[in-house]
Amino acid sequence: MVLVNSNTRSVNMKQYQSVHFDCQERFVRMSKFNTFTQLKELMFAMEQDLGISELSEPEKCVFSCIVQATEAGGSITTKAITQHMLTSNLSRPTLFRAIKQLLAKDIITQPSHGKYVANA
C-alpha cells in the first residue's frame, strides 16, 4: 500500500503551478515580442509606401507630431512638439535639427513663427 502525504501533494502542485505559470508568462512575453516584431515590419512597409523611409528616426517622430496636428485641422507649436509623447525624449538640438531638415525637404511648412503644418 502506498501512502500519499498531503503535504507532498500540495508541494508538487505548487511546483507544477509555478512551472506552469512561468511557461505561460514566457509564452505571453514571446507573443508580445512577436507582436512587436510584426508591428515593426508593418511600420517599415508603411514608411516605404509613404516615401518617408529615408527620414531619420527623430525626423519621423517630429513629422508624426506635425501630421497629427494637421489632421486635427491646425498647426502645432514648437512647444507642443517638444512635449509630445513621440518627441519628449529628443534633445532640443536634435528636435530643431529635425524640424530644419523637414522644412528643407519640403515635407512640412511654417505658416507663422514657431508653428508647423504637414504638406499634403
Report the C-alpha gap between 113 and 115 in whole angstroms: 6
At 2, is the pLDDT very low, low, confident or very high (cuts 50, 70, 90)? very low
Helix (H, G, I), strand (E, B) or coil at 79: helix
Rounded to 5, what percent of the chain is helix, strand, coil? Answer: 65, 10, 25
| Domain CATH number, residue 73 | 1.10.10
Give residue 33's pLDDT band: very low, low, confident or very high (50, 70, 90).
confident
User: For the segment 69-98, what is each residue's pLDDT rounded down to a tens digit?
Assistant: 999 989 999 999 999 999 999 999 999 999
Q: In which domain, by residue range, is 104 found?
A: 57-118
62 and 114 both lie in a single domain: yes
Q: What is the pLDDT at residue 11?
A: 53
Counted domains in the chain: 2
> What are 112's three cell numbers?
507663422
Check whether residue 61 and residue 99 sit in a common domain. yes
| Shared domain check, 109 and 61 | yes
Asked whether residue 62 falls in the same domain as residue 97, the answer is yes
46 and 74 share one domain = no
Statement to judge: residues 29 and 62 lie in one domain: no
Q: What is the pTM of this model?
A: 0.73
**pLDDT given at position 13:** 58
Quick one: pLDDT at residue 12?
62
Do residues 46 and 61 share a domain? no
